[in-house]
Amino acid sequence: MTNLMRWTATIVLGFLAMTVSAQQGNNTQLTQDTSQDGDFSTTQTGESDSELGESRYITDLIYTPIRTGPGGDYRIVNKGLPSGTEVTYFGTAEGGVWAEVETKGGTRGYLRAQYLQTAIPRAKQVNSLETQLKNALAKVAQLQAQLDASVEELSSANEDRGTATRDLEATQQELAEIKRISANAIQLDKLTGELTSKLEDVNARNDLLKLENTRLEGRVASNQRLEGVLAVLAGIFLALVIPRLTVKRRRNDGWR
């Protein structure tokens, strides 16, 4: 953008310099000798008493007629070409006083060679510079608009980046929370596995204890039945033996 502004400033300064040079060069305006060849130049007149004494400038606009031959007596085929008109040159005649030319419109004839020059007139250069300046200013305005749009896009991108950064931070926090919960879940799962293993061991021991208890209960029942049988047998024995002992004692007592 800095280079563009420098380029624009250079064009403007060049344009101003060319304008000043054109104004200085046009002060030496060519005049026509109407008594010799009938050529004429067009200027604006029409003075009033109130305009007397004011500043005036020599015009830089000259109309040059084209004649059918190299001389002022020949018929005029074009009443006047304005200053800066481009024509095709075909050489001179009458000792270089007259030049044969042809206009872009196809009109061919002669005009005084003193009105021709190989360099582009300064006025036309100024017009070209004005056009270039307008184009440059339009280009600058276009680039400025593009720059403003780019700045706006950059600002929007910065806002989007800020939003994305905030979203990223929130996502990171959520991820950290998920990791923490996951770690707790893993630890809880590990603890659950340990408790499950211990519970299975307790259940296995409980089952063993139940089997042992059942077996002990079976033994107790067997012992109780055995004790019952023994008690019955003891009762039967006593019932059979005691009466005999009593009878035998009585007999012994009677013998005495």
Model confidence pLDDT, tens digit, residues 11-65: 656 655 555 454 444 433 333 333 334 443 333 344 566 667 787 766 667 788 8
Residue 213: is its pLDDT beyond 90? Answer: no
pLDDT at 28: 39
Instruction: Return the percentage of the chain with pLDDT > 90, whole number.
Output: 12
SS (H, E, C) 80-99: EECCCCCEEEEEEECCCCEE
Average pLDDT, the chain: 77
Average pLDDT over residues 161-168: 90
Higher pLDDT, 251 or 96: 96
Return the DSSP state at 170.
H
pLDDT at 33: 37
Contact 152, 138 (CB under 8 A): no
Average pLDDT over residues 104-133: 84
Q: Which of 39-53, 119-133, 165-179, 220-234 has the lowest mean pLDDT?
A: 39-53
Q: Count of CB atoms within 10 A of residue 126's CB? A: 18
pLDDT at 91: 92
Contact 64, 72 (CB under 8 A): no
pLDDT at 100: 94
Higher pLDDT, 118 or 124: 118
pTM over 0.75: no
